[in-house]
């Protein structure tokens, strides 16, 4: 029976790739994952799903024309979530706060990682670490090194949240103090560029790179607390950095080898890591361990790697498999309370292994 189901999944995947249509193999309706139980009749109506979506996420539209357009987009995203569920069966896909956005709108408003096709020649490489004694499970949240999930809003500032998250963890390791650092300082003040690549400057809500942010922080002297330089989610504002109010300083930063054991070892030894990932599957993600059959390695989103687990999901005919734990910056209502799990051991899935950075903090105290 397992063999039959496995072959059916492969056949469905091939059919989707060829025709763009999904064969229903009796996956759960994704709507059931995110709304209270309703009658089957109600669950069959897109209007009902849309009404629940608007209520849950407090969505309003200025005109009837806009409302009708968003309803059409919503219906398209229901079909898209079903396709994602078929191609990523170990995760749960369905309605999210982004279900009234086209993929293009989603990328423009909520991603923002600058594309990088090669690392600069002067990039400092992290030293190779021993991997023989790696734990099977590890989570920096349990050690107190991770601040609560933040929300970037409709601003392509993911790169700044990835960078501050890594420095928050490094500062905790150096001082045992967990301090929430200012993303808005990076948005307003950081215009650092990769000298070897055109159009690679950090540009607020229009995107940036985590290593550029670390370079800026090193040159500026450090980052202020979020409380002293609060987030607005808007760019083109005057830089308000006050070097007398620095809360955390960068000592150095380096790029980690694209090897999953090295990534795990650096995570355990040096704290949460700034990474880049392709976010295609994240627009419809609700929970579980994402391990899509196909995922582009072209990164478009900056996130924070905070841990890993040993047994998060069970693909057909295989025993439970390990996964990575990723902190996102879309608020706690998204995903698993703001977190994303993606399978570990599938080399460079969604490009997550090839832009990984570790940062060290100067041992200073904010008290």
pLDDT digits (tens, 9 = 90+) for 279-332: 999 999 999 999 999 999 999 999 999 999 997 666 654 567 899 999 999 999
Sign of CA dihedral 134, 137, 142, 146: positive
Q: What is the pLDDT of residue 35?
A: 42
Predicted confidence (pLDDT) per residue in 117-144, tens digit: 455 555 688 999 999 999 999 999 999 9
Q: What is the pLDDT of residue 319?
A: 60
Per-domain boundaries in the chain? 2-96, 110-361
pTM of this structure? 0.86
- Rounded to a whole number of angstroms, the CA Rg of the chain reads 21
Catalytic (active site) residue 158: yes
User: What's the CA gap between 367 and 363, in Å, rounded?
Assistant: 12
Q: Chain-wide mean pLDDT for the chain?
A: 86
Catalytic residue among 158, 205, 343, 350: 158
Q: What is the pLDDT of residue 1?
A: 46
Sign of CA dihedral 104, 234, 98, 180: positive
Catalytic residue among 189, 328, 343, 350: 328
Question: Does domain 110-361 match CATH 3.90.70.10?
Answer: yes
User: What's the CA gap between 208 and 199, in Å, rounded?
Assistant: 10
Please state, as a whole number, how many other Cβ atoms lie within 10 Å of the Cβ of residue 364. Answer: 14
Residue ranges in the chain whose pLDDT is less than 50: 1-8, 10-40, 42-43, 117, 317
Q: What is the pLDDT of residue 363?
A: 81
Catalytic (active site) residue 199: no
Q: What is the pLDDT of residue 118?
A: 53
Catalytic residue among 295, 301, 343, 350: 301
Catalytic (active site) residue 69: no
Please state, as a whole number, how many other Cβ atoms lie within 10 Å of the Cβ of residue 143. Answer: 15
User: What's the CA gap between 326 and 295, in Å, rounded?
Assistant: 17
């Amino acid at each position: 029976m397992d063999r039959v189901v496995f072959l059916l999944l492969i056949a469905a995947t091939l059919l989707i790739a060829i025709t763009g249509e999904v064969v229903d193999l009796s996956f759960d309706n994704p709507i059931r994952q995110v709304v209270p139980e309703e009658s089957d009749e109600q669950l069959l109506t897109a209007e009902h799903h849309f009404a629940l979506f608007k209520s849950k996420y407090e969505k309003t539209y200025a005109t009837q024309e806009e409302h009708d357009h968003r309803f059409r987009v919503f219906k398209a995203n229901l079909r898209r979530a079903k396709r994602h569920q078929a191609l990523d069966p170990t995760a749960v896909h369905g309605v999210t706060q982004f279900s009234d956005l086209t993929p293009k709108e989603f990328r423009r408003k909520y991603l923002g990682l600058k594309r990088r096709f090669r690392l600069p020649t002067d990039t400092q490489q992290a030293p190779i670490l021993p991997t023989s004694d790696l734990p099977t499970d590890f989570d920096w949240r349990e050690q107190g090194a991770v601040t609560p999930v933040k929300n970037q809003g409709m601003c392509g500032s993911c790169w700044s949240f990835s960078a501050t998250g890594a420095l928050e963890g490094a500062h905790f390791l150096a001082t045992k103090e967990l301090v929430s650092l200012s993303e808005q300082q990076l948005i307003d003040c950081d215009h650092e560029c990769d000298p070897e690549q055109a159009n690679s400057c950090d540009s607020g809500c229009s995107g940036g790179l985590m290593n550029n942010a670390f370079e800026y922080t090193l040159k500026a002297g450090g980052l202020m607390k979020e409380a002293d330089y609060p987030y607005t989610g808007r760019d083109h504002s005057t830089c308000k950095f006050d070097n007398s109010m620095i809360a955390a300083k960068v000592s150095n930063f380096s790029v980690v080898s694209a090897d999953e054991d090295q990534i795990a070892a650096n995570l355990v030894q040096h704290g949460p890591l700034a990474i880049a990932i392709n976010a295609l599957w994240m627009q419809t993600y609700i929970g579980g361990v994402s391990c899509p059959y196909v995922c582009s390695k072209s990164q478009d989103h900056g996130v924070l790697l905070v841990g890993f687990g040993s047994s998060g999901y069970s693909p057909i005919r295989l025993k439970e498999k390990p996964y990575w734990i990723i902190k996102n910056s879309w608020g706690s209502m998204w995903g698993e309370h703001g977190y994303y799990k993606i399978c570990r051991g599938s080399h460079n899935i969604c490009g997550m292994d090839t832009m990984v950075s570790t940062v060290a903090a100067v041992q200073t105290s904010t008290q």
